[in-house]
């Protein structure tokens, strides 16, 4: 086995029904439901105009500045996949640009995450195809390899395995492990519903703020 330069077969992926359910749940509520212990890092920002990123991960581990394996991932991607690339966070060379995004859209890919840089930022920024990246540079990539496809990767300590659910919005990026999509969804949906109710109470001037003083007292705050 050529570890470091290989393409594995994806063994499982989250079902389309979960993708659609998660589409309407804010990433912040999902994060709260996972005890705020998981995140793709603050450097990963949405580069597109608007739109939620959600779908099963097709993972790529790339050598910084090189997009050969990303090209292959695009070729084998299925409609609805989110291509997630661990390129070490290096910003020296862009791994995707307008041409690759156009190809991804044509194939029905749900979005692309690059722990690295992009270029053609104006074109990508004017569109609704979800692209998350750590930065922008005009310098293009190399195409030499090595790299791996469909292997576990990590973005700022957040482990992503092939087929896990990846979701991103204006607040950032998050991965929900394959085995936990049902449990996390139930908690996140309940959290979202509770916050919507709280917003209604705020609008009516009926929200209960007594918890603030109770918390201060319990924690030993001194009032002088």
**How many other CB atoms sit within 10 Å of the CB of residue 107?**
14
Residues flagged as binding site for substrate: 97-100, 119
Residues, the chain: 224
Which helix (DSSP H) or strand (DSSP E) does residue 181 occupy?
helix 181-204
- Please say whether the dihedral angle defined by the alpha carbons of residues 48, 53, 58 and 60, taken in this order, is positive or negative: positive
- Please say whether the dihedral angle defined by the alpha carbons of residues 122, 50, 97 and 168, taken in this order, is positive or negative: positive
CA angle 211, 217, 223 (to 5 degrees): 120
Residues flagged as binding site for Mg(2+): 120
Provide the Cα torsion 169, 171, 173, 176; round to 10°: -90
Please, which residues have CB within 8 angstroms of residue 1's CB and are 6 or more apart in sequence?
none
Name the token pair of 156: 């700022």
Which helix (DSSP H) or strand (DSSP E) does residue 156 occupy?
none
Residues flagged as binding site: 97-100, 119-120
């Amino acid at each position: 086995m050529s570890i470091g330069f290989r393409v594995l077969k994806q063994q499982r992926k989250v079902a389309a029904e979960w993708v659609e359910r998660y589409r309407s749940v804010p990433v912040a509520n999902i994060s709260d439901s996972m005890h705020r212990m998981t995140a793709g890092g603050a450097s990963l920002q949405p580069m597109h105009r608007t739109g939620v990123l959600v779908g099963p991960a097709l993972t790529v581990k790339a050598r910084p500045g090189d997009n050969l394996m990303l090209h292959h991932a695009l070729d084998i991607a299925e409609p609805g996949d989110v291509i997630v690339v661990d390129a070490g966070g290096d910003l020296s060379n862009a791994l995707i640009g307008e041409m690759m995004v156009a190809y991804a859209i044509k194939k029905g890919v749900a979005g692309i995450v690059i722990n690295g840089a992009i270029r053609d930022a104006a074109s990508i920024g004017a569109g609704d195809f979800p692209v998350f990246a750590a930065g922008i540079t005009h310098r293009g990539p190399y195409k030499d390899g090595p790299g791996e496809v469909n292997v576990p990767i990590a973005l700022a300590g957040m482990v992503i395995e092939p087929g896990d659910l990846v979701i991103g919005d204006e607040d950032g990026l998050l991965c929900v492990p394959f085995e936990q999509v049902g449990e996390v969804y139930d908690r996140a949906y309940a959290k979202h519903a509770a916050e919507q109710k709280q917003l209604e109470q705020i609008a009516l001037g009926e929200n209960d703020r007594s918890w603030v003083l109770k918390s201060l007292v319990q924690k030993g705050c001194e009032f002088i």
